[in-house]
Amino acid sequence: MEGRKDQRGASAFCSAVLCGFISAAAFIVTAPAFAVSPVTIGGPFSLIAPDGSTVTDASFRGKWMLVFFGYTYCPDLCPTSLSEIALALDKLGPDAAKVQPVFITVDPERDTPDVVGQYIGAIDRRIVGLSGSQRQIAAVSEEYGAFSERHSSGASAGDYVVDHSTYIYVMNPQGRFVRGLKAGTPADAIADTLRRLMTRAGQ
């Protein structure tokens, strides 16, 4: 009987340890995955600029891209993040010419190209604002693994908020994802990250 108890106890202990390893492994894979993920982030896209012209991912080749998904009705995170990006450009000095921030709306129904243009113009014109059709936005969101979900906030159909991904995607001059920064990252940290990446790339 004592041997059976020991056996059952050992079995339970092993199961607990195994569950612990599985949980830890899941955390290790998911927690830092945004920065080192083997899954491809980014890819071809075709969107509309405020002037009505078509802009693709290839339009930004040769520059470090800071891609941020948001929407113009966003009350705090979006304007804060975009303002920090603009300040980071100031801190980079001449190296800012090597960087292209890109704002992509997740709310094309309200954020027409013209609306996006006015919104970005009030923050910093060095940022490129892009919109498009529902299909175009869905396609680029899928390429970047960006999440967005609409929630009603009032009686009318136009009263809603959009939950969305809260990351800045850093893409290298070849258009490949190199790392992610949390939305709202301070300008100093953004600038320092870009300087390190440029130095590593021999720029």
14 annotated to a ligand binding site: no
The model's pTM is 0.80
Query: Is the domain 46-200 a CATH 3.40.50.300 member?
Result: no
Query: Could you give the CA distance from residue 167 to residue 196 in angstroms, rounded to a whole number?
Result: 19
Q: Which two tokens stand for residue 36?
A: 């080192």
Angle 177-183-187 from CA coordinates, rounded to 5°: 95
Query: Could you give the CA distance from residue 168 to residue 101 in angstroms, rounded to a whole number?
Result: 9
**SS3 of 155, please?**
coil
164 annotated to a ligand binding site: yes
Structural domain boundaries of the chain? 2-31, 46-200
Q: Which two tokens stand for residue 198?
A: 């440029």
19 annotated to a ligand binding site: no
**Going residue by residue through the chain (203 aa), what tens digit of pLDDT does each one get?**
544 444 444 444 344 434 443 333 332 233 333 444 456 899 999 999 999 999 999 999 999 999 999 999 999 999 999 999 999 999 999 999 999 999 999 999 999 999 999 999 999 999 999 999 999 999 999 999 999 998 887 766 678 999 999 999 999 999 999 999 999 999 999 999 999 999 999 98
